[in-house]
Structure 1
């Protein structure tokens, strides 16, 4: 499976690879960011729970300290000497009047206790006969509830007991035990019931933010508040949650809930804070980050597409050019060379385009150069063919002249005719492009023989070439035109003796041949015209530019001929070709 995916990826184009890579980088960055953000949110939730728990602990401690004060108040009531005495006398007397007086005194004493306590809603005492004396709020307690409370006080045997009654009322219940006077019997004298204003205690100890709710529950009974913002079912679900904190979605909205349990009363403190206002900024940041990422992702894809296109489109155009050249369609070579080059000239793609265009221009130049060289070769061959004016007739005529010269004992004429015949045969036969240097010298000797008949002692010809170099291959008719040029420009204009010399040497793989004369020389302007081919050795001969081009065409542009001229001293044609030995060959 991995191999198949890798193969598919490798076969993708650069454009799709770049888009895939950019998408992977962006998605990977977003995944990393989301992971970090999630951890941050979890850390934030945990810290928020810790802070909320601390506040709940502080609140619960404050509330329960007040409840302990209420418990201490119930102890003060049941241990009050006057109340102990009134209840004892109330149990001992049979007089109805006396009982009423004692109950009145007992009520006044309760009023003294209840009036000084801000968190006491009401305070009542139930004697052994079931009569109720109360102080504070006169709201009565049903007979059934009084019986239950009395039973609860009896069960706790003098200890304080908490009772959560209807309408979320909190009651402190304790039994009177007789311990005043001369007797310490701990006899049951009655029951005191103190209704606590839990709402005031909570308001004093807890500073709740807007919308938040504190719920105090004793198992399934709600201690606080009297009116719930939520249904009892929702509260019970939160009380039964395993996690001490979390986010709960209620019909009223989302809430962050935190819960602790008091070790003193065993009550559960549940704090509900509206989630949306509290996390509004965080939620807004989440949405903003998501929108920013989507925008960055789209911009990244757009930028990646533009970037990849800026690379692949020039490469596609370059590939199209290459395919056109590959098919051999060179007619559009100039058009391809002049094609558009991508902007940003210093980029790799731009350099690649310019290099390919230079290569195309160089190919075009080479094609033109090769075409020009072929024209020169054709011109040379054409001139050689033009010299073939019925060669068989001409050779037969020369043979007849040679025979007649020998019959008439004209050796000079015979020698001249033989030299001319050899020279004509060598000039006409252009099938051999490279010949040994020795054979080229034979052509030169034939030409010089004819010219010596003409100029006699004025022409002094010399050859300084070692025998081991005579088998070196050179282009045919290379030296004869140079000798002809020397006679035409050095010997003919002068009446003095002209020295013409051919010298050859080799160094490693290079052969150097020089044709020198001591004629009047050439000016710089004439040399420039000679290099450009504007001056020919003779009207129908082979020009110097032709010789240079044939050497370069045969051996390469690093080889050729240089002309050196010192007027009145020496004029030399220096030929530089590779040193190759062998028989005559076609190329």
Structure 2
């Protein structure tokens, strides 16, 4: 079967081959599109699940952390020395009614002071042994049946804090007050503590929305804690709570929702996030359908164009081949004239376009020959100007030699050393910066620069070289180390009055790829991490006017490749180290 298909393909004309090929390519592309679309859709689903779950966990963690802090408030009120003393005084038989009234007034004042300093507290209530309700904060009281229920809950907890949600969705912390001395809890009951919290403030501060259409629901299993007026009916919320899955798709009220559920291990509360499916996927579904329609249209148009293309390709191209063979034997002047023949001015087909392009190629070759000739003239003129430009530097060298001779005659040793070092530096920097020299030659430039700076800074400059002899023949771009040494003196030595230690260290690189690690290190003020990040990103314009780090790194990359370059390490007020990574290539001074 496969053999027959191959035979038919060989015998088929260009038209049928092109048509079959284009059709197969379009079908394969369409199949890959569907696979990619399904993968992206599934990936988007998983990301939505993960995002809503993260938001839900973050909200639950924030709320419960705050509630744990409020448990601490409950304990502080419980163990307050003034409240303990006043409540204990109410139980004494010798206390008069007036004295009890005074003690209750003290308790209410204390509760008011505590409630006023707490952002999330609505009111603090204490029910004393005689069932008097003492309130601090908002004066709203409690219904008799709620009061009885809370006292029963507190009594069952035996001094532990209990969270309670009322029928009006109010949030309470309840605990029985016992006499407290140090860390011991005798069995003497002093009353009941009830703290009502501003639940809406806690939720506003710690509930993170998963979007404008998301619904966050918090329940303790029997009552809805948040929100006060849920948009989803409570009976349908109860159905979602008994599901075994922690997230997935569900239908509520005829609408699809993404649900994500998290259960608290501390309070036993359940956090449920419901996000409408249609609002989440309306745009992506529209885009998916639109792209599918467009792709089908492209498939049909592509097949139609393939038919037309196949028909146009069947035109003979032997004429172009014959012309190219003739051109191979002729001279360039006649080639251009021959290429003009039989080429329509308005080429439409690929073959005709190829003929026209061939003609343009011949013309371009002629232009390149002319341009190359002109460039050679410019290069020779530039070389002449470069030779003429060396007259002024030689005049400067002769002047420096005269100054040096005069300094020696007058026994000015330091002036003589500085002039000799300056002359060497000028000769070294005469090239355009693209040459390779040995590490030994580069260190000679460094020595000349250090000679000048040591005379300037005297004992304030402590310069050391740690360069093994076997690396002295390594090739390095010229004027690489001197600018880094100049930066170290400018930024580390000049701003300080004490001695600055500067070292140049050469060793094998421990990083991937090997090579040499040449480090210029100083104990100057260093750089802050933020400044160092900006500098590495090239977003800092330094104050210097010489050869900068970017210039050095660019020359290294152009010379050795993009994997080599500069790395900066710095610790504020400790050190700065510039690492130069280059391959270990041995040789002599050369130009590249």
TM-score normalised by L of structure 1: 0.46
Question: Considering only CA atoms, is the larger Rg found in Structure 1 or Structure 2?
Answer: 1
TM-score normalised by L of structure 2: 0.46
